[in-house]
Structure 1
Amino acid sequence: MGSKDFKLPDVGEGVAEGELVSWLVGPGDTVEEDQPVAEVETDKALVEVPSPYNGTVKELHVEEGTMVPVGDVIITYEVEGEGDESAEAEPEPEVEETAEADAEASAEAETAESEQAESSAKGGRVFAAPSARRLARELGVDIAAVSGSGPSGRVTDADVRQAAESEAGASASAETESEAQDGDGPRDVDVDRKSSVTKRGEAGNGQQPSDVEAAGRDRTLAAPATRRTAKEQGVDLNDVPATEMRDGEAFVSAAAVTEYAEAQQAAQEADAQAVAEAGAVADEETASATSEGGISGERIPYRGVRRTIGEAMQNSKFTAPHVTHHDSTDVSALVELRAELKEVAAERDVRLSYMPFVMKAIAAALKQYPYMNATLDEENEEIVLRDEYHIGVATATDAGLMVPVVENVDQKGLLQIAEEMNDKIERARDRSIGRDELRGSTFTITNFGVVGGEYATPIINYPEVGIMGLGELKERAVVEDGDVVARHTLPLSLSIDHRILDGAVAAQFANKVMEYLQHPKLLLLE
């Protein structure tokens, strides 16, 4: 018998930590390989973590309700025929060959990159969306010095704005004296980076780097592997102090990128500590205020899926200028057609609602208005016209709003769409749906009519550029040939990203969707 430690694995792309919601095993339990041992909630979904071993649970290292970084030990097993191991062997670092470094420098770079990869998995480095980085450049804010409030320390637009306001409150002389100051955390880091670069120049075979300021460069030489490392770590190569000069231009090595990222991380940790200390004081003040008749009531942690949804909504609303087009259409013919097909669908064990008809109508209209099926690639400053028609269906769950995606709606029949949609909505509500099934949509539909709503201003599922909201389908009084008659009508609310689409296109697109819903047999021609 020997001991084996099990670390929390990477349970999804981009996930750096998760909340251990519940243990499914206890000390002394015998488990088999692939048997679920814990439920972990990430910022994406609730997932079951399977055991990698056959053995007996010796110790549980984490209490339920604790946030656990990826890579932390959560269970120790007793395993037959295994030697005693205090921790799993670390994966062998990827070797990067660089012509400019000798064997010793290469070893240092590989070790640093391995450590940096582990740090990245734990969310310790500065991460920021392209919109936040662009805003930081516009406002003159050093993104590396901003403490992120998003998941895993991600820097949001709001964080950048707050940092800009803080800098604006500093004295006017701070800018001219910035190089002489040594009490500011980020500036200390800059000094450390320059001295570390000088040491690398002395130890390597290249010539000494010049005094070119990193922030002033618009071109930097680097090996492809180094550029990949910089991209993975969210580092701008032009911001990294030069390792050496080649033909008058700055050259940066992988080790320099890693040291730069670590320096930024150190600055962020220092800021986080300061924020934590300030927060402790604020908590005391809040407690005092509450005891004196201030804010009181139940406090629920704002994290996990709920926080992810909230930040996605905030990012969409403050990134894409929304405009909403409202309309209503007569769907009496659709009501009759669905009544005819409902029995046929039931014979095939499929529940047929109106949603598959709407999805087919939208897919058909998207083909005629390709900018409605677009995505804005902000980093490359390009509008991408998608050639796939993946429709997301916003679904209310106990954990918040989720968007299961039905792919290639244009290539599927009504019953196939209905069956797939019903299955994914059910699994979203019981939180057994896979992460891949909740992303990749090119257009989204939200149905607030199921709770009696008529019109709304739905928020776009960014980076999509449009979302269609459905009101309650019911009989309403309408004027027809001068007479007031009762007709089945469906209110529609179409929100668009006004950077990409104009109001006229939104109205034309909505009219085309309404045409298909008024005359649903036209969908047979699509």
Structure 2
Amino acid sequence: MRFEFKFPDVGEGIHEGTIVKWLVDIGDNIKEGDSLVEVETDKVTTEIPSPRTGKVLELKGDAGDIIHVGNVFVVIEIEGEDSEKSSDSQGISDSIDEEDKKKELDEKEEVVEEETAGVVGEVVASSEEIPPSTEGIESPKEDIQTKKVLATPVARAMAKDLGIDINTVEGTGPNGRVMKEDIRRAKEEHLKPKVKEGLENRERPKTKALVLEGSPESEDLYERIPLTRIRKTIAEKMSESRFTIPHTTAMDEIDISKLDKFRKTYKEILKEEDIHLTYLPFIIKAVIRGLKQLPEFNSSLDELNEELVLKHFYNIGIATDTERGLMVPVIRNADKKSIVELAKEISDISTRAKNNEIDLEELRGGTFTITNYGSIGGYFGIPIINHPEAAILGLGRVVEKPIVKDGEIIIGKVLPVSLSYDHRTIDGASGARFINILKDLLMNPDMLFLKS
């Protein structure tokens, strides 16, 4: 019998993907778990496995086509099952859409949902900004008791995951039922930059590449390359950050001669354990000390509620150059890891990012980002903050330079750094203080270990 496989929800907030290439052909016999297609989403390229064993009957779409979550894109012939079972089995995948789920709800389940719709106080986990605390704010009991919302379980789960109060979402489904698309629209509205009353909310016009006066007019002399989905996402995120956050950047040079000597002492020893010891783990340790002393650098600005959200956890994003574009895998709870553990994880996540083997979840939840453009020869730069974070540290190329020490000129190892931060919440003096913390710790590795 026919089994219609719908494009599954591969991650929160992602509702479409681009077909890169099919990994099977019509007529192929496949097993459950075999990869069917390679799909590019906003952040990663991933292979979609088959949920069933059978024979490929149809492949809907060609390379380059966009496919939406919930759309049938592969039809598989299943032996020994009736059509009703094949259709119901779609419920085991993550691609159950609103209408499928609605049919599964009986009247009793709907009543239970309505009665519990007003429950408050749940902890919300989300890859976006941490929602502002409602501690100490009383909600009218009458509203909690009388507010009843019809919604599918899928929509409720999505609202919880995205930090959206489902009671505030207007449903467009039957009888006002809140659907997944309603939650997506509510999230998009929440993420739009808020403007003060009286100001016109103007969208920045998109520009078209024009042939300048005096340039050749023949189209044969120009090449137009379609942007990949990831490149579009990078462009949108960079524009959002640059036009939302007033950036300011502080720069300095740090003498890391002692740190260089310390690293070389243990580099060869750890190499025998297949551990590549770079400067980055030491820098991460110093950054975390700075974040703890100046918590505004480990924060996000909640413009809607006019609150600064301080984060008491330290997830450090490592900007990584890959063939597909810039990716920022995240080292979670970096403050709880040793230099050796950080070295291992940096090597692991950067390698998997470059090989396109990184999981989507590993690209989420960062609180501060480090970008090392020095690895490809850069010295100073002005890094763009990874919105909604408050700051980013850029690392330049370590070079030998003459420096003055105790009245004498000596040759030392110098690390140039550039710190970009959100000038709405962080003053210039704090930027200088943060860099001074880095300098004190990186110039004196013994203090780095004593304070880590």
Range into which the TM-score falls when normalised by the shorter chain: 0.7 to 0.9
Q: Where does residue 97 of structure 1 map in the other structure?
A: 114
CA separation of 1:383/1:293 partners in 2, compared to 1, >3 Å: closer, same or farther? Answer: same
Q: Where does residue 50 of structure 1 map in the other structure?
A: 49
Q: Where does residue 20 of structure 2 map in the other structure?
A: 21
Among 329, 338, 341, the alignment partner of 1:404 is: 329
Among 168, 171, 179, the alignment partner of 1:117 is: 179
Q: TM-score, normalised by structure 2?
A: 0.77
CA separation of 1:296/1:349 partners in 2, compared to 1, >3 Å: closer, same or farther? Answer: same
Deviation at residue 482 of structure 1 after TM alignment = 3.8
Q: Does the CA-based 8 Å contact 2:298-2:367 persist in structure 1?
A: yes
Please give the residue correspondences for 1:259-408 in structure 2 after superposition, counting only pairs within 5 Å.
292-293=217-218, 296-408=221-333
Q: Where does residue 506 of structure 1 map in the other structure?
A: 431
Please state whether the residue corresponding to 2:192 is helix, strand or coil.
Answer: helix
CA separation of 1:292/1:363 partners in 2, compared to 1, >3 Å: closer, same or farther? Answer: closer
Q: Where does residue 81 of structure 1 map in the other structure?
A: 80
Deviation at residue 325 of structure 1 after TM alignment = 0.2
Letter in 2 for 1:134: K
Q: CA RMSD in A?
A: 3.0
| Deviation readout 1:159-205 (Å, 9 max, x if unpaired) | 63559xxxxxxxxxxxxxxxxxxxxxxxxxxxxxxxxxxxxxxxxxx
Q: Where does residue 2 of structure 2 map in the other structure?
A: 3
Q: Does the CA-based 8 Å contact 2:193-2:244 persist in structure 1?
A: no
Q: Where does residue 68 of structure 1 map in the other structure?
A: 67
Q: Does the CA-based 8 Å contact 2:383-2:393 persist in structure 1?
A: yes
| Deviation readout 1:32-85 (Å, 9 max, x if unpaired) | 112211111011211111111111101111111111111111111110122246
Among 415, 432, 440, the alignment partner of 2:365 is: 440
Q: Does the CA-based 8 Å contact 2:194-2:303 persist in structure 1?
A: no
CA separation of 1:395/1:371 partners in 2, compared to 1, >3 Å: closer, same or farther? Answer: same
Letter in 2 for 1:383: L
Higher relative contact order, structure no. (Cα contacts within 8 Å, ≥ 6 residues apart): 2
Deviation at residue 366 of structure 1 after TM alignment = 1.1
Q: Does the CA-based 8 Å contact 1:333-1:519 persist in structure 2?
A: yes
Letter in 1 for 2:235: G
Q: Does the CA-based 8 Å contact 1:136-1:160 persist in structure 2?
A: no
Q: Where does residue 448 of structure 2 map in the other structure?
A: 523
Partner Cα separation in structure 2 for residue 109 and residue 479 of structure 1: 70
Letter in 2 for 1:518: M
Q: Does the CA-based 8 Å contact 1:135-1:160 persist in structure 2?
A: no
Q: Where does residue 161 of structure 2 map in the other structure?
A: none
CA separation of 1:447/1:161 partners in 2, compared to 1, >3 Å: closer, same or farther? Answer: closer
Q: Kindly name which structure, 1 or 2, has the bigger radius of gyration based on alpha carbons.
A: 1
Deviation at residue 520 of structure 1 after TM alignment = 1.0
Q: Where does residue 135 of structure 2 map in the other structure?
A: none
Among 415, 420, 423, the alignment partner of 1:495 is: 420
- Provide the identity percentage: 41
Letter in 1 for 2:40: E
Q: Does the CA-based 8 Å contact 2:248-2:423 persist in structure 1?
A: yes
Q: Does the CA-based 8 Å contact 1:131-1:319 persist in structure 2?
A: no
CA separation of 1:292/1:136 partners in 2, compared to 1, >3 Å: closer, same or farther? Answer: farther
User: Residue 458 in 1 paired to residue 383 in 2?
Assistant: yes
Letter in 1 for 2:34: Q
Q: Where does residue 474 of structure 1 map in the other structure?
A: 399
Deviation at residue 302 of structure 1 after TM alignment = 2.1
Letter in 1 for 2:248: V
Q: Does the CA-based 8 Å contact 1:326-1:492 persist in structure 2?
A: yes
Letter in 1 for 2:272: E
Deviation at residue 456 of structure 1 after TM alignment = 0.6
Letter in 1 for 2:114: E
CA separation of 1:456/1:56 partners in 2, compared to 1, >3 Å: closer, same or farther? Answer: same
Partner Cα separation in structure 2 for residue 127 and residue 295 of structure 1: 43
Counting helix residues as a fraction of each chain, which structure ranks higher? 1
Q: Where does residue 203 of structure 2 map in the other structure?
A: 160
Letter in 2 for 1:491: P
| Deviation readout 1:246-303 (Å, 9 max, x if unpaired) | xxxxxxxxxxxxxxxxxxxxxxxxxxxxxxxxx9xx99x99xxx99536952222224
| Deviation readout 1:190-238 (Å, 9 max, x if unpaired) | xxxxxxxxxxxxxxxxxxxxxxxxxxxxxxxxxxxxxxxxxxxxxxxxx
CA separation of 1:113/1:425 partners in 2, compared to 1, >3 Å: closer, same or farther? Answer: farther
Letter in 2 for 1:97: E
Please state whether the residue corresponding to 1:450 is helix, strand or coil.
Answer: helix
Q: Does the CA-based 8 Å contact 2:172-2:182 persist in structure 1?
A: no
Please state whether the residue corresponding to 1:505 is helix, strand or coil.
Answer: helix
Q: Does the CA-based 8 Å contact 2:173-2:179 persist in structure 1?
A: no
| Deviation readout 1:463-510 (Å, 9 max, x if unpaired) | 111111111112012223443321111001000100010000010010
Partner Cα separation in structure 1 for residue 325 and residue 10 of structure 2: 20
Deviation at residue 347 of structure 1 after TM alignment = 2.1
Q: Does the CA-based 8 Å contact 1:22-1:39 persist in structure 2?
A: yes
Please state whether the residue corresponding to 2:101 is helix, strand or coil.
Answer: coil
Deviation at residue 11 of structure 1 after TM alignment = 1.1
Letter in 1 for 2:363: L
Partner Cα separation in structure 1 for residue 33 and residue 74 of structure 2: 14
Q: Does the CA-based 8 Å contact 1:132-1:160 persist in structure 2?
A: no
Letter in 2 for 1:82: E
Partner Cα separation in structure 1 for residue 295 and residue 282 of structure 2: 20
Partner Cα separation in structure 1 for residue 423 and residue 338 of structure 2: 32
Please state whether the residue corresponding to 1:33 is helix, strand or coil.
Answer: coil
Deviation at residue 399 of structure 1 after TM alignment = 1.0
Partner Cα separation in structure 1 for residue 32 and residue 343 of structure 2: 36
Partner Cα separation in structure 1 for residue 175 and residue 369 of structure 2: 43
| Deviation readout 1:87-122 (Å, 9 max, x if unpaired) | 668433263538799x9xxxx9763666x636559x
Letter in 2 for 1:160: E
Q: Does the CA-based 8 Å contact 1:131-1:378 persist in structure 2?
A: no
Deviation at residue 136 of structure 1 after TM alignment = 8.3
Q: TM-score, normalised by structure 1?
A: 0.67
Please state whether the residue corresponding to 1:160 is helix, strand or coil.
Answer: coil
Please state whether the residue corresponding to 2:8 is helix, strand or coil.
Answer: coil
Please state whether the residue corresponding to 1:91 is helix, strand or coil.
Answer: helix
User: Residue 418 in 1 paired to residue 343 in 2?
Assistant: yes
Q: Where does residue 162 of structure 2 map in the other structure?
A: none
